[in-house]
Amino acid sequence: MIWGKIQSVKQGTLLVFQVACRRHSRFAPVTPQPVPPLGQTMQRYLRALEPLLPPDELEHTREMVRLFGQEGGLGERLQQGLEKRARFSHNWISDWWVQWAYLESRQPLAGHSNPAIALPKQDYSDWRGQLMFASKLIAGVLDFKAKVDSGSLPVEYLRGQPLCMELYPLLFSSCRIPGPKHDHVVHYSQARRPPTHITVVRNFQFFQLEVYNSDGTPLTEGQIHAQLCRIRSQSWKTDKEPMGILTSEHRNTWGQAYHRLLRDKINKESVRAIERGIFTLCLDSPVMRISDDKYSSRMAAQMLHGGGTYSNSGNRWFDKTLQFVVGEDGSFGLLYEHATAEGPQIATLLDHVLEYCKQPDSVRAPLIPLPMPKKLYFYIDPEIKRDIEQAKQNLDILINDLDISCFIFRRFGKDFPKQLGLSPNAFIQVALQLAYYRVHSEICASCDSASLRMFRGGRTDIIRSPTSQALQFVCAFDDPSVSREAKVDLLREAVAAYAALTEQALQGQAIDRHLLGLKLQAIEEGLSVPRIFMDTAYGLATHWKLRTGQVPSNTDSVMCFGPLVPDGYAVCYNPQSDHVHFSVTAFNCCEETNAEKLAVTLESALCHLQELLHPAV
Ligand code: COA
C-alpha cells in the first residue's frame, strides 16, 4: 500500500483500509522490506559502473563514493534517516518510488508510462461476437474482484516465498488525477459505499453501466449483454469530440485542462463517473489490417494507445487504472496505469478472466427490466475544444514516433536454458546484451524489473544487466580467435552473474531503490543533493537505454511499453516452455535506434546462443 501518497476518498478511509488489510490472512506472511547496508550498496554501485565507464572516470567516481560512504560522512547520516523511516513506515521506499517515478513524471501516460498487454485474438470477427465476449469478460473481472474483496484470492509465491497481495484491492475503482505539478491517485473502492458501475466507451462516447443488482449480486452475462446492446444502439455515431484524448497529454497541460473542464457541473459529474468506475471497457472498432506478419505489432499498438485519433485513441481514458480493450475484430488486451498496478498482478487478473471465459455460457437470467446505461455528457466550450485539438495533434505525433515490433521466438522457450541448468530470465538478458552490442557496438545502462513483493508493500527494484561478465562475453562472442569452449564458459559466467544479481534484487538487496532513497532522504532533510548523484557517472548509469521487463503469464500474451529515454528501447517478454513472446519499442525520431533491427538481431542472437550450447542443433 502506498501509504503516504494515496488520497483517500473520505477522511478516515485509509485507516479503515489499513485495519481491513490486517484482518485478511493474505496480507500476513510478508516481512518488512530491509534497508540494505550502506557499504554493500556503495561497493555494488561501483561494480555496476565497471563495464560502463572508462578507468579514469571510474577512479574519480570511486573517490566520490568513498567520501560519501566513509565513517561519519553524509552517507551514514542519510542511512540512519532511512533506517528510522523503515521503522516507522509501512514500506520505506514504495511511496517515494511511486511519487518520484510516476506521479511527478510529466511525460504523457500514453506510450511513455502506461503498459499494455495484448492477448491472443479471440474467435469472432463482428460486433455480435465482440459484445458476447465483452459480457463474459465483465462477468469474469467481477468474479475476480469478488475474490479480492472477500480475501479468498490465493496468496501467490515466487521462488517458494509468499508475496504481498496488498495491491489487488487498489486495482478497482481507482484513477490517477492530473495536477499542475504532480498527480495523485484516488481510490474509491475503499469508500463507505463503493461504486457499483463500470464505464463503457464506444465511438468515443462514455457510458455508466451499473453491474450490480440492488441486492448486491452481480449482473449475469445475459443482463450485461443486453445492456451492452443498448449502449451499442446509442453510440452508433462517433462523437465529434473525443474527450478521452485529453488524458494523453503532457501532465502539466492536462492538469490545467482538467481544472478548466471540471468548472462545469456536467463535466465534473461525467469525469467523476469515469474515475469512480470499477474499470473501463473500451469497445474498439477493428484494428487496421496491414500484413499478417505486422498484425501482432499493430494490435499491441492498438492496446497501448488506440492507434491514433482517427482510429480508437478516443476510446481511452489514460488515467484510469484498468482499461480492458475488446475490438470488433477479436482483438483483445488491457491497458493499465502504472502508479497503481504492476505487470504480474495484471497477468494474474487476465489469467483468471481468460479461464472464466472458457466456462460454458451461464443460464439466462429472467429479464428483469434494468435501468438504461447512462450516457456521460460533456459541455465543450471553445477553450476545451482548443485543448482537445492540441491533444489530438500531440498524440498523433507521439503515436507516429513510437515504433513497435512484436514477434514470437519459436525455436525454443524457457525449457531449453532450464535443461542446461541456466536461469531462463538471465539467459534472455544475456542474449539482449549481445543483441544490443551487435547493433550499437557498445553496452549501455539497462534495467530489468525485479519484484519486491516478498516484502510488505513492495513494488520493484532493478537488476542491472550489463555486468563485467556480460561485457566479456559479448566482446568474445563474435571474435573468431576465441574458442567455442571459452565462449561457453563466458556465457555461463555471464548468466550466473545475472542470476546472482536477480537473487540479490528479490531479497531487497539491489542498489537502485536504495540509492534513490538516500537521495530523497537528503532532500527530505533539507540538504543539497549529495555529490555522488550529481556525478556524470550516476547520470550515465541511470540513463536507461534498455528498459526491459519479464511478465510471465499462463497465456500467450505480450506486454508492451515505451522506452524510458529518447535514445533508448523497451523490451518486454513472456517466456513459455517452448517459445517466447517479445515486444520491442523505440522512437522513430532517434536516428540511432531501430526497434525492428533490435528485434531481428535479438532473434538471431538467441539462435546463436543455442548453436553455441548445442552445436548439433
Ligand atoms: N536451472 C534450471 N532451472 C532454473 C534455473 C537454473 N539455474 N534458474 C531458474 N530456473 C527455473 C525456475 O525454477 C523457474 O521454473 P518454473 O518455470 O518451473 O517456475 C524458471 O526457470 C524461471 O526462472 P527465472 O527465469 O530465473 O525467473 P524467475 O521468475 O525466478 O525470476 C524475475 C525472474 C526476477 C524477472 C521475476 O521473478 C520477477 O521478479 N518478476 C516480476 C517482474 C516485474 O515486476 N515486472 C514488471 C514489469 S512492468
Torsion sign (Cα): 85, 87, 89, 90: positive
Q: What is the mean pLDDT of residues 562-566?
A: 97
| Residue 390 grid coordinates | 492540441
Domain boundary among 403, 423, 442: 403
Are 414 and 398 part of one and the same domain?
no
| Residue 472 grid coordinates | 566479456
Query: With bands split at pLDDT 50, 70 and 90, how would you rate the model's confidence at 364?
Result: low
- pLDDT tens-place string over residues 430-452: 999 999 999 999 999 999 999 99
Q: Could you tell which of 414, 418, 459, 491 is best to mutate to test the pocket of ligand 1, judged by most ligand atoms within 8 Å of the CB?
A: 418
Helix (H, G, I), strand (E, B) or coil at 605: helix
* Buried-exposed string 107-118: b where 16+ CB fall within 10 A, e elsewhere: ebbbbbbbbbbb
Q: What is the mean pLDDT of residues 248-257?
A: 96
Atom number in ligand 1 closest to CA 424: 25
Are 210 and 295 part of one and the same domain?
yes
Helix (H, G, I), strand (E, B) or coil at 461: strand
| Residue 339 grid coordinates | 502508479
Are 560 and 475 part of one and the same domain?
yes
Shortest-distance Cα residue to atom 41 of ligand 1: 451
Give domain status of residue 498, yes or no: yes
Are 429 and 558 part of one and the same domain?
yes
Return d(Cα 371, Cα 40) in angstroms, integer.
62
Name the H helices within 448-576. Answer: 468-477, 484-506, 512-524, 536-541
pLDDT at 290: 73
CA of 503 from ligand 1 middle (Å) equals 10
Are 192 and 209 part of one and the same domain?
yes
pLDDT at 25: 39
pLDDT above 50 (res 603): yes
Are 446 and 418 part of one and the same domain?
yes
pLDDT at 441: 96
Active centre residues (catalytic): 338
pLDDT above 50 (res 24): no
Give domain status of residue 251, yes or no: yes
Are 556 and 461 part of one and the same domain?
yes
DSSP string, 314-366: GG--TTBSEEEEEETTS-EEEEE-TTT--HHHHHHHHHHHHHHHHSPPPPPPP
The residue with cell 481510490 is 187
Give domain status of residue 339, yes or no: yes
Shortest-distance Cα residue to atom 4 of ligand 1: 423
Query: With bands split at pLDDT 50, 70 and 90, how would you rate the model's confidence at 30?
Result: confident
Residue 340 Cβ < 6 Å to ligand 1: no
Residue 562 Cβ < 6 Å to ligand 1: no
CA of 220 from ligand 1 middle (Å) equals 38
Residue 450 Cβ < 6 Å to ligand 1: yes
pLDDT at 236: 83
Helix (H, G, I), strand (E, B) or coil at 573: strand
DSSP string, 177-202: E--SS--EEEE-TTSSS---EEEEEE
pLDDT above 90 (res 40): yes
Return d(Cα 399, Cα 308) in angstroms, integer.
7
Query: With bands split at pLDDT 50, 70 and 90, how would you rate the model's confidence at 291?
Result: confident
Domain encompassing residue 456:
410-613
- Are 128 and 318 in contact by the 8 Å Cβ rule? The answer is no
Q: What is the mean pLDDT of residues 56-67?
A: 95
- pLDDT tens-place string over residues 7-20: 333 333 333 333 34
Give domain status of residue 119, yes or no: yes
Shortest-distance Cα residue to atom 26 of ligand 1: 423
Return d(Cα 447, Cα 460) in angstroms, integer.
11
The residue with cell 443482463 is 223
Residue 354 CB-half CA count within 13 A: 20
Return d(Cα 16, Cα 88) in angstroms, integer.
19
Residue 418 Cβ < 6 Å to ligand 1: yes
525 burial type by CB count under 10 A (0-12 exposed, 13-18 middle, 19+ buried):
exposed
What is the tally of structural domains in the chain? 2
Pairwise pLDDT comparison (362 vs 24), residue with the higher score: 362
Return d(Cα 537, Cα 54) in angstroms, integer.
10
Shortest-distance Cα residue to atom 10 of ligand 1: 423
DSSP classification of residue 102: I
| Residue 406 grid coordinates | 512484436
Give domain status of residue 222, yes or no: yes
Centre a 10 Å sphere on the Cβ of residue 267 and count the other Cβ atoms it contains. 21
Q: What is the mean pLDDT of residues 493-514?
A: 98
Give domain status of residue 186, yes or no: yes
CATH assignment of the domain containing 384: 3.30.559.70
CA of 58 from ligand 1 middle (Å) equals 32
Residue 469 Cβ < 6 Å to ligand 1: no
Residue 617 Cβ < 6 Å to ligand 1: no
Are 376 and 414 part of one and the same domain?
no
Chain-wide mean pLDDT for the chain?
92
- Mean pLDDT check: name the lowest of 215-229, 230-244, 263-277: 230-244
pLDDT above 80 (res 391): yes
Are 450 and 350 part of one and the same domain?
no
Nearest to 535 by CA among 515, 556, 505: 515
DSSP classification of residue 269: H
Q: What is the mean pLDDT of residues 58-64?
A: 96
Are 227 and 328 part of one and the same domain?
yes
pLDDT above 60 (res 398): yes
Centre a 10 Å sphere on the Cβ of residue 492 and count the other Cβ atoms it contains. 17
Residue 602 CB-half CA count within 13 A: 30
513 burial type by CB count under 10 A (0-12 exposed, 13-18 middle, 19+ buried):
buried
Query: With bands split at pLDDT 50, 70 and 90, how would you rate the model's confidence at 616?
Result: low
pLDDT at 296: 87
569 burial type by CB count under 10 A (0-12 exposed, 13-18 middle, 19+ buried):
buried
Residue type, position 262, single letter: L
Nearest to 274 by CA among 240, 313, 301, 247: 247
pLDDT at 617: 52
Query: With bands split at pLDDT 50, 70 and 90, how would you rate the model's confidence at 6?
Result: very low
Residue 372 Cβ < 6 Å to ligand 1: no
Query: With bands split at pLDDT 50, 70 and 90, how would you rate the model's confidence at 190?
Result: confident
Are 534 and 509 part of one and the same domain?
yes
Shortest-distance Cα residue to atom 15 of ligand 1: 418
**Of the segments 25-29, 280-284, 361-365, which one has the largest average pLDDT value?**
280-284
- pLDDT tens-place string over residues 84-116: 999 999 999 999 999 999 999 999 999 999 999
Return d(Cα 281, Cα 208) in angstroms, integer.
10
Query: With bands split at pLDDT 50, 70 and 90, how would you rate the model's confidence at 368?
Result: confident
List Cβ neighbours of 237 (8 Å cut-off, separation of 6 or more): 203
Give domain status of residue 321, yes or no: yes
Give domain status of residue 180, yes or no: yes
pLDDT at 433: 98
Nearest to 292 by CA among 413, 410, 408: 408
Query: With bands split at pLDDT 50, 70 and 90, how would you rate the model's confidence at 504?
Result: very high
pLDDT at 288: 72
Domain boundary among 387, 403, 419: 403
Phi, psi of 584 (to 5 degrees): -130, 130
For the chain, give the percent of residues with pLDDT over 70: 94
Is the pTM higher than 0.85? The answer reads yes
Q: What is the mean pLDDT of residues 26-55?
A: 90
CA of 423 from ligand 1 middle (Å) equals 7
Q: What is the mean pLDDT of residues 170-196?
A: 95
CATH assignment of the domain containing 477: 3.30.559.10
Q: Could you tell which of 94, 349, 423 is best to mutate to test the pocket of ligand 1, judged by most ligand atoms within 8 Å of the CB?
A: 423
Residue 460 Cβ < 6 Å to ligand 1: yes
| Residue 225 grid coordinates | 449483454
List Cβ neighbours of 323 (8 Å cut-off, separation of 6 or more): 279, 280, 281, 282, 316, 317, 334, 335, 336
Are 558 and 474 part of one and the same domain?
yes
Domain boundary among 360, 388, 403: 403
Residue 551 Cβ < 6 Å to ligand 1: yes
Q: What is the mean pLDDT of residues 238-261?
A: 93
Q: How far is CA 594 from CA 232, 300, 356, 548, 606, in A?
A: 40, 17, 39, 16, 18
